[in-house]
Amino acid sequence: MNDVIPSKVRLAAKRAFVRTSAQTLSATIPTSGITGAALSGGDPVVIAWSVGAAVLSSVAAATASALSIVSKGVPEEYKEASAS
């Protein structure tokens, strides 16, 4: 099959997207929610905007990670981990 993006690269990019989005969300949602609540006195609109910004930044970081793998190929660390 003549794929533009080989299946192993596609799989690695998907894994990178999920991993990066999870890592980013776990770090930014609590921080932004707490900061938004503290600075606004508990205003739900400010908290929602803060959490929304965290989600958007997570998607942006995950997309950048996936596109990096698509453009450069599977990193050596991924190849070593999948071989064992």
Residue pLDDT, tens place only, 32-72:
888 888 888 888 898 889 889 999 999 999 999 999 988 88
Cβ-Cβ contacts under 8 Å for 12 (sequence gap 6 or more): 69, 74, 75, 78
Domain tally, the chain: 1
Q: Is residue 28 part of a domain?
A: yes
pLDDT band at 82 (very low <50, low <70, confident <90, very high): low
Q: Is residue 79 part of a domain?
A: no
Q: Is residue 81 part of a domain?
A: no
Exposed, middle or buried by CB within 10 Å (0-12, 13-18, 19+), for 29? middle
Q: Is residue 80 part of a domain?
A: no
Q: Is residue 3 part of a domain?
A: no
Which domain, by its residues, includes 12?
Answer: 8-68
Q: Is residue 50 part of a domain?
A: yes
pTM metric for this prediction? 0.75
Q: Is residue 62 part of a domain?
A: yes
pLDDT band at 84 (very low <50, low <70, confident <90, very high): low
| pLDDT above 60 for 73 | yes
